[in-house]
Amino acid sequence: MGETKHRTLTDALKAEILSNKYAASRAIPSETQLSRKFRVSRTTVRKALDALHHEGWIRSVRGRGTFVTRQGAARKIGLVVPGVSYSEFFPPIVDEISRLTRDSGYTLLLGNAVDRRPEARARQTISFVRDFAAEGVAGVVYQPIEMIADAEKANRAALSVLDAAEIPVVIIDSDFTKSPHRSGYDVVGIDNVAAGMSAAGHLMSLGVTKIHFQSRPLCSASVNDRRSGVIAAMSSSGALARTFRDFKAEPDDIAALKAHLKRWRPEAFVCGNDTAAVKLKISLEKLGFRVPDDIRLVGFDDVKYAKIVTPQLTTVHQPCEKIAEVSFRRLLSRIADPSLPPCTITLPADLVVRVSSGQPMSRRKKL
């Protein structure tokens, strides 16, 4: 009953803040005054105020009282992603953050960089953050700019706009700096190195030794970390120097793939994401190779394509909804207390074994 009362009071106070009843320069009523006004106990009032403080609606100033924050008055959250069609990882992230902002009394401003050209997406991203700063958003969930020559510089330029406006930021998926360095922002994602080790470890448990990693010539920090994980797993087995190779090309580049297969004769590919894995499977089939009979495949994401492609794809499952939830909750905490030290939150990412990685090898396959 008490839990219901304090939630009801929390919602009532949110409604009053949204109606501009409390100016940011004037203290909101005291616990005693609120207790009398809403006819509830001071304990209930205190719980409601604690909830509002945690979500960034209010702040306490010693000796002066409790005030609506600038972010609390704005009630807007910005979300920057590099196009929801760019990767199947992003649509569930956008959907969940949209739901969370709505349920928490915020309005979501979506910066969806839709251009197919990476350089144009980077320019769109910078434009979005400038718009968010002008809107005075409470905070921003930010997916870093990727696949351009100086991505770190571009990300720092974009984020400096938000820093200058004192707008809190939480980064999703992976940091934009090269590991082990840190950018200084909160980051929420999976442990991509461990995930890469898991993918390679699974293939090695089947007797596969010639594992190659597919990625685009310019790829994200998360994909680089997945590659590092594959290398670490193979290095521990002693197979790395003899059998690991990079296939740095678009997965549908038939000529590049044909040359790579002829020269190196891989037994398996680990791909940077499921979209690339599906495209690589189609390319292999065009060249006359069957998955997994001739070459095995492992991807990353497990959002949509992995289950509908034939054969179904062995992949690392990204908990997209949980990433969105943790990112949003962390942003609320940072809005409430900007002095919090930056942290990296890594969520579990399980390997989902399906047909594309094949059965244990009875003998070394020859191409």
pLDDT band at 364 (very low <50, low <70, confident <90, very high): very low
Q: Same domain for 207 and 307?
A: yes
Q: Which of 6-20, 138-152, 197-211 has the lowest mean pLDDT?
A: 6-20
**Amino acid present at 330:** R
- On whether residue 259 sits in a domain, the answer given is yes
End-to-end CA distance of the chain: give it in Å, rounded. Answer: 69
**Residue 239, pLDDT above cutoff 80:** no
Give the pLDDT of residue 71. Answer: 66
Q: Same domain for 173 and 79?
A: yes
Give the pLDDT of residue 287. Answer: 98
- Residue at token pair 């406006």: 165
Q: Same domain for 118 and 199?
A: no
Q: Which of 1-5, 26-30, 49-53 has the lowest mean pLDDT?
A: 1-5
Q: Same domain for 62 and 211?
A: no
Q: Same domain for 150 and 216?
A: no
What are 100-115's pLDDT values in tens digits? 999 888 889 999 887 8
- On whether residue 13 sits in a domain, the answer given is yes
Q: What is the residue range of 158's domain?
A: 74-190+320-347
Q: Same domain for 309 and 197?
A: yes
> How many residues does this entry show for the chain?
367
For residue 128, give the CATH number of its domain.
3.40.50.2300
Q: Same domain for 83 and 33?
A: no
- On whether residue 153 sits in a domain, the answer given is yes
- Residue where a domain stops, chosen among 34, 68, 102: 68
Q: Same domain for 110 and 56?
A: no
pLDDT band at 1 (very low <50, low <70, confident <90, very high): very low
- Residue where a domain stops, chosen among 15, 49, 68: 68
For residue 11, give the CATH number of its domain.
1.10.10.10
CB-based contact 306:299 (threshold 8 Å): yes
C-alpha to C-alpha distance for 142 and 184, rounded to whole angstroms:
14
CB-based contact 265:367 (threshold 8 Å): yes
Query: What is the total count of domains within the chain?
Result: 3
Give the pLDDT of residue 15. Answer: 80
- On whether residue 364 sits in a domain, the answer given is no
Q: Same domain for 184 and 329?
A: yes
C-alpha to C-alpha distance for 183 and 342, rounded to whole angstroms:
9
Query: Which spans in the chain are helix H?
Result: 2-18, 31-38, 42-54, 70-74, 90-103, 118-135, 151-164, 192-205, 221-237, 240-243, 254-264, 274-286, 305-308, 320-336
Q: Same domain for 130 and 41?
A: no
Give the pLDDT of residue 367. Answer: 44
- On whether residue 363 sits in a domain, the answer given is no
- On whether residue 367 sits in a domain, the answer given is no
pLDDT band at 241 (very low <50, low <70, confident <90, very high): low
* Percent of the chain whose predicted confidence (pLDDT) is above 70: 93
What are 157-176's pLDDT values in tens digits? 999 999 999 999 999 999 99
- On whether residue 366 sits in a domain, the answer given is no
**Residue 365, pLDDT above cutoff 70:** no
- On whether residue 255 sits in a domain, the answer given is yes
Give the pLDDT of residue 147. Answer: 83
CA angle, 334 as apex, 328 and 336 as ends, to 5°? Answer: 105
Q: Same domain for 299 and 207?
A: yes
* Percent of the chain whose predicted confidence (pLDDT) is above 90: 64
When the pLDDT of each residue in the chain is averaged and rounded to a whole number, the result is 90
Q: Same domain for 292 and 199?
A: yes
**Residue 186, pLDDT above cutoff 50:** yes
Q: Which of 44-53, 79-88, 226-235, 315-324 has the lowest mean pLDDT?
A: 79-88
- Residue where a domain stops, chosen among 27, 49, 68: 68
